[in-house]
Amino acid sequence: MVACRPPAPATEANYDPSLIRADSDLAALTRQLAQRDAQRDVSLLLSGPPGSGKSAYVRHLAAAMNLPVLQKRASDLLGAYVGESEQQIAAAFAEARDTNAFLVFDEADSLLGDRRAAHRSWEVSQVNEMLTWMEQHPLPFACTTNLADRLDPASLRRFLIKVRFDYLSPEQSGAAFLRFFGMAAPPNLTRIEHLTPADFALVRRRIALLNGAPSAETLAAMLAAECSERGQGRRIGFLT
């Protein structure tokens, strides 16, 4: 039986540079890597909270470099038998090389976990396999993770570029509110912490499904609920 993979997300449609908060100049980085004579054996570590734009950016970057994306999740690669994970990791790098694709590993902390905390031999050999291929791969690849502190220290030295993504600033949250909902944000939106572009996208999809026309205050309450459900953020003053 052939395993079914979820469809790849849309590329540029999900990327809005004004709604990305990162510790690097992503526009400058994209321009540099998109040059015709730019270095191709580039490795990137994109870390930060879920929904903050890591995957959207790497797809934007791949499009700027005129490369298709080969996306692999940890669940695609981790096997139940000894040696299976290593074989599938090697196969992923080989596939990217053969198809001239920009390889993206999501959930990289599951593939590059700190070997000092390993309890089984395969946990060590799996990381070793990743590190070996990372050093040899001639094309761009990126690893995304929400848990950068769990990565093996040796893996950090393999990444040429490291970018940390963060939650939206209050100004960005207001801009996202206007973009996604077509109305000005209520003043108390600034009291909701830990918002991401994905939160706004999810709430917009939900109201479209319900065919409703909620007020700005109701939309803000829905955003606050998204943060609360993942154990982050403060509830705003007009919520009960």
The tens digit of pLDDT for each residue in 53-94 reads 999 999 999 999 999 999 998 888 877 666 788 899 999 999
How much is the pTM? 0.85
How far apart, in whole angstroms, are the C-alpha atoms of residue 190 and residue 170?
5
Residue 100 contacts residue 67 (beta carbons within 8 Å):
yes
pLDDT over 60 at 183, yes or no: yes
Strands (DSSP E) found in 4-100: 21-22, 43-47, 69-73
Q: Would you list the domain boundaries of the chain?
A: 12-166, 170-229
Name every residue whose Cβ is closer than 8 Å to that of residue 225 and which is 6 or more positions away in sequence: none
pLDDT score for 110? 86
Indicate the class that CATH gives domain 12-166. Answer: alpha beta
Average pLDDT over residues 93-110: 94
3-state secondary structure of 135: helix
> Rounded to the nearest 10 degrees, how much is the dihedral formed by the CA atoms of 134, 140, 145, 147?
50
**CB-CB contact of 131 with 102 (8 Å):** no
Q: Can you give the pLDDT at residue 113?
A: 85
Q: What is the pLDDT of residues 202-211, one digit of tens each?
A: 999 999 998 8
pLDDT value for 75: 81
In this prediction, residues 23-44 reach a mean pLDDT of 96
- Cα(32)–Cα(30) distance, integer angstroms: 5
